[in-house]
Amino acid sequence: ILRMADLDLAGKRVLIREDLNVPVKDGRITSEQRITAALPTMKLALEKGAAVMVTSHLGRPKEGVWTQEDSLAPVAARLGELLGREVPLVKDWTDGVQVAPGQLVLLENCRMNVGEKADDETLAKKYAALCDVFVMDAFGTAHRAQASTHGAIRFAKVACGGPLLMAELDALAKALLAPARPLIAIVAGSKVSTKLELLSALVSKVDQLIVGGGIANTFIAAMGHPVGKSLCEADLLDTARQIMADAKARGADIPVPTDVVVAPAFAADAPATVKAVAEVGPDDMILDIGPDTAARYAQMIRDAGSVIWNGPVGVFEFDAFGKGTEVLAHAIAGSEAFSIAGGGDTLAAVDKYGVEAGISYISTGGGAFLEFCEGKELPAVAALKARAS
């Protein structure tokens, strides 16, 4: 892949696709991680003397309709503060953009453009015509074949990967393609069904696969233990058994909790009780891993060469059920292992326990991170490779 860092951009019109799809509530940005991660790319383009246009989507708006709610206005404002300059937001931009070298403008939500999601060729060619160099830097959207990702790469005079995209790909390759071993993956979340492909892909790569959340409950049930009222997918017990058998066949381990934290209800103020897995009662809900299990997993993490972390192992939004996630977060941060964390809830946990500095790489990708870990080729990355060859 051609890298933006290696190109001379002086006086060039540069269109950068970022993923500035940040959570916005009542006009306020609630997590700016994606903006701060993209900032060095924009600064570099400005330093190189380019006329910079930045495009991104926000949410999933209806194409062809502008609404305040879907506008990138809050992002433009925050970006301006972070860059220390005014960042104009350009509304109708597909037919031409006024921007001079040394300036940076943000283009309104590209998903408002008709044809964006369908990867329409005419629209992609319009995007390509706006610039001398197209920079794909939106790792978080690299799994979408859309006009501003895959399409523009195909038709731009020059298409390259931006520093953020390249850093993401380099970090993921380090953790997954040539990992220091043992390699541990932590896959947690509410349902096995939504992470089935991830579990199946990782079980053929890792040395240990730690499961958490509702996923762990399904594994606990698959081993014949009671799970009471816990979230559990009864129709996937055989699948869980198959994943365990696959792991065993290649000498990998899927440790299952020996103790858990249970409550009679899913609520912040529900009384939390630690129980051995065999003792979970019919009215119990498993909401976290227990302290013995957390300590055992933490030790494994300290001994690991690489750690991939996706998903909190308990209902960490409620403090009484966040201990397991907190212990593992600190173990990852304190471990010498090369560690990578990705996925929305994971980043919220990283934030909550203040472990960001200890993690080797924090991905800006949600779906893209998962698809990469599943071994899938991301369409925008494939297009960049095709352009480079």
Between 144 and 323, name the residue whose CB sits nearer to ligand 3PG. Answer: 144
Find the angle CA(36)-CA(57)-CA(345) to the nearest 5 degrees.
60
Catalytic hit among 80, 305, 358, 367:
367
Q: Residue 109 or 141: which CB sits closer to ligand 3PG? A: 141
387 is in an annotated binding site: no
d(CA 333, CA 352) in angstroms, rounded, equals 13
Quick one: tokens of 89?
């937001």
CB of 12 to ligand 3PG, least distance (A): 27
Give me 363's structure tokens.
């991905």
Give the DSSP H or E segment for 344. helix 344-352
Question: Which residue out of 191, 229, 352, 376 is catalytically annotated?
Answer: 191
59 is in an annotated binding site: yes
Rounded to the nearest 10 degrees, what angle do helices 33-47 and 163-176 cross at? 120
User: Does 379 contact ligand 3PG by CB under 6 A?
Assistant: no
The minimum distance between CB 138 and ligand 3PG, in angstroms, equals 8
How is residue 231 written in tokens? 């979230």
28 belongs to the binding site for ligand 3PG (CB under 6 A): no
Return contacts of 36-43, CB within 8 angstroms, 24+ apart: 36/82, 37/164, 37/364, 38/137, 38/164, 38/364, 39/82, 39/83, 40/163, 40/164, 41/4, 41/16, 41/135, 41/137, 41/162, 41/163, 41/164, 42/16, 42/18, 42/79, 42/83, 42/104, 43/83
21 assigned ligand-binding residue: yes
Choosing from 61, 74, 115, 140, the residue that interacts with ligand 3PG (CB under 6 A) is 140
Cis, peptide link before residue 264, omega less than 30° from 0: no
> In the set 367, 374, 375, 385, which binds ligand 3PG (CB under 6 A)?
367
> Per-residue contact track with ligand 3PG, 263 to 302, x per CB under 6 A?
----------------------------------------
Among 314, 324, 343, 366, the residue binding ligand 3PG under the rule CB under 6 A is 366
364 binds ligand 3PG (CB under 6 A): no
Q: Which is nearer to ligand 3PG, 140 or 151 (CB)?
A: 140
One residue of 6, 10, 60, 357 binding ligand 3PG per CB under 6 A: 60
Q: Does residue number 225 form part of the binding site for ligand 3PG (CB under 6 A)? A: no
Selected from 144, 150, 195, 323, the binder of ligand 3PG by CB under 6 A is: 144
Q: Look at residues 189, 312, 185, 323 and name the one whose alpha carbon lies nearest to residue 254.
A: 185
Residue 144 marked ligand-binding = yes
Q: Considering only residues 13, 18, 19, 116, which one is a binding residue for ligand 3PG as defined by CB under 6 A? A: 19
> Is residue 19 part of an annotated ligand binding site?
yes
Which residue of 71, 141, 218, 293 would you call a contact of ligand 3PG, by CB under 6 A? 141
- Cis omega before residue 61 (within 30°)? no
Question: Is residue 34 annotated as part of the catalytic site, yes or no?
Answer: yes
Question: Is residue 367 among the annotated active site residues?
Answer: yes
Closest contact distance (angstroms) between CB of 368 and ligand 3PG is: 6
Catalytic residue among 80, 228, 305, 344: 344
The sheet carrying 104-107 orders its strands as 89-90, 104-107, 51-55, 13-17, 133-136, 158-161
Catalytic residue among 34, 126, 154, 323: 34
Binding mask 320-359 for ligand 3PG (x = CB under 6 A): ----------------------------------------
Report the distance separating Cα 159 and Cα 152, nearest Å: 8
Q: Which of 21, 293, 360, 363 binds ligand 3PG (CB under 6 A)?
A: 21
Using DSSP's 3-state secondary structure scheme, residue 259 falls into: strand
Active site residue 191: yes
CA distance 93 to 110: 9
Q: Whose CA is closest to 152, among 122, 197, 109?
A: 122
Which DSSP string do the residues of 99-139 spell out, in sequence order? --TT-EEEEP-GGGSTTTTTT-HHHHHHHHHT-SEEEE--G
d(CA 45, CA 53): 10
Does the annotation count 241 as an active-site position? no
Is position 343 annotated in a ligand binding site?
yes
Annotated binding site: 19-21, 34, 57-60, 111, 144, 195, 317, 343-346
Catalytic positions: 34, 191, 344, 367
Annotated binding site for ATP: 195, 317, 343-346
Residues that bind ligand 3PG (CB under 6 A): 19, 21, 60, 140-141, 144, 366-367
